């Protein structure tokens, strides 16, 4: 796990941090994005509405009771390698421009002044743009035994968010907020009655976190020893053990639309990594319907409202907490399956698609994250791709 996490972390850091910077804990990040451990590509395609849905092991991050919806006719769910990567607009162009700036030299072979001017120019060109990159692996297995279902997995995730600013003088600033999280997670669900299922998750995680504003001069001065500078001077680390609990109630099983209600309490009491930060407890609710459509394997329509008690201190905006969407499974006949998804997440549309060929699954989602205090203030478009080897 440590080796895998180091690889994941360095992949993400190289996208932005190796160009310049990281973070320190004395500051708060500018972005008002809600914290999370993992984003399911399937859930994001459905607008993030997953509390009453589940059906895969990744429901451990949304509602452990959703393990009871893992299809029994498919047997074991095994994800030997489940790599996801996402980025926002201009991440690659920023990386290329910053790399060129740090390689600048003048006719006399002097580089520091030219590099400083070039880096300032790049920061000015991208001023105010949210630059986001994330790489994660969630290797897992799970199975549904009718009344009892379980799922266990190993999480390795690295994320970087950066925003270029103009400093008090002519020097630019690059504000970076990043973290790397890895550890184990497992949970189970149990049918209390024929229609009511309860679930519980336990997770043991390690986090490395950095928040810092880097000046252009600081980027130039530390370009050759950035990794050591981050590790020894800026990085904050911490460990946490957390619990989640959830319910799914299928309150009208004889209905043609098969409605269900979901309730989850994530990070009970708060997931406290000490100096590396805290993810607050959240209470989430959701509803879903699963009408039968003879032409296709399944149709799911869902709606969630997350953080009912407003434990996210960034804001109290209701629109940011509302998610709804749908999934249509076109076919699922060995050796291939395909599903289409669409929804609304934090006030913005989402799209998604799954395609499985033999043991290879390709999942794609497009969504927009609200990084401001209310929906519609400051959007950040992202694309999320997952490649899974398993069955």
State how far Cα 113 lies from the chain centre: 39
Query: What residue ranges define each of the domains in the chain, with the CATH number in brackets?
Result: 2-390 (2.40.160)
Give the mean pLDDT of 343-359.
97
pLDDT digits (tens, 9 = 90+) for 139-152: 999 999 989 999 99
In this predicted structure, what is the pLDDT of residue 216?
Answer: 85
Angstrom distance (rounded) from CA 196 to CA 193: 5
pLDDT for position 20 = 37
**In this predicted model, what pLDDT tens digit does every residue of 50-68 receive, in sequence order?**
999 999 999 999 999 999 9
In this model, does residue 170 exceed pLDDT 80? no
Band (pLDDT 50/70/90 cuts) for residue 22 is very low
Report how far residue 373's alpha carbon sits from residue 332's, in angstroms, rounded to the nearest whole number. 41
Contact assessment for residue 305 and residue 285, using Cβ atoms and an 8 Å cutoff:
yes
What are the tens digits of pLDDT across the range 178-208? 999 999 999 999 999 999 999 999 999 999 9
What digits encode the pLDDT tens for the residues 212-267? 888 888 888 887 787 788 788 888 999 999 999 999 999 998 999 999 999 999 99
Asked if pLDDT for residue 110 goes beyond 70, the answer is no
Average pLDDT, the chain: 89
Judge residue 297's burial from the number of C-beta atoms within 10 Å of its C-beta, 0-12 exposed, 13-18 middle, 19 or more buried. Answer: middle
pLDDT of residue 15: 44
Residues near 111 by Cβ (< 8 Å), separated by ≥ 6?
104, 105
- What is the model's pLDDT at position 16? 45
């Amino acid at each position: 796990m440590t080796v895998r996490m180091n690889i994941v972390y360095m992949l993400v850091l190289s996208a932005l941090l190796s160009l310049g910077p990281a973070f320190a804990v004395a500051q708060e990040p500018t972005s008002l994005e809600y914290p999370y451990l993992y984003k399911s590509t399937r859930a994001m395609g459905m607008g993030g509405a997953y509390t009453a849905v589940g059906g895969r092991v990744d429901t451990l991050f949304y509602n452990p009771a959703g393990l009871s919806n893992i299809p029994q006719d498919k047997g074991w769910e095994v994800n030997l390698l489940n790599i996801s990567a996402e980025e926002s607009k201009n991440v690659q162009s920023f990386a290329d421009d910053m790399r060129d700036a740090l390689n600048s030299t003048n006719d006399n072979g002097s580089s520091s002044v030219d590099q400083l001017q070039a880096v300032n120019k790049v920061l000015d060109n991208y001023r105010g743009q949210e630059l986001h990159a994330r790489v994660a692996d969630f290797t897992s297995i799970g199975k549904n035994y009718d009344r009892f279902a379980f799922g266990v997995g190993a999480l390795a995730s690295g994320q970087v968010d950066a925003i270029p600013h103009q400093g008090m003088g002519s020097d630019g600033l690059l504000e970076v907020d990043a973290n790397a999280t890895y550890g184990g997670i497992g949970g189970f669900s149990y049918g209390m009655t024929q229609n009511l299922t309860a679930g519980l998750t336990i997770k043991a995680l390690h986090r490395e976190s950095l928040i810092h504003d880097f000046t252009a001069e600081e980027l130039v001065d530390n370009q050759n020893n950035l990794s050591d500078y981050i590790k020894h001077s800026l990085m904050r680390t911490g460990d946490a053990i957390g619990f989640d609990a959830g319910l799914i109630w299928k309150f009208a099983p004889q209905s043609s639309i098969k409605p269900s209600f979901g309730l989850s309490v994530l990070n009970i009491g708060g997931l406290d990594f000490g100096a590396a930060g805290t993810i607050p407890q959240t209470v989430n609710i959701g509803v879903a319907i699963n009408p039968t459509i003879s032409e296709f394997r399944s149709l799911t329509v869902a709606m969630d409202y997350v953080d009912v008690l407003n434990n996210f201190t960034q804001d109290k905006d209701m629109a940011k907490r509302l998610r709804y969407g749908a999934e249509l499974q076109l076919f699922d006949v060995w050796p291939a399956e395909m599903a289409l998804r669409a929804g609304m997440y934090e006030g913005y549309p989402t799209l998604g698609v799954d395609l499985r060929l033999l043991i290879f699954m390709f999942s794609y989602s497009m969504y927009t994250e609200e990084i401001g205090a209310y929906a519609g203030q400051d959007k950040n478009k992202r694309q999320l791709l997952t490649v899974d080897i398993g069955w």
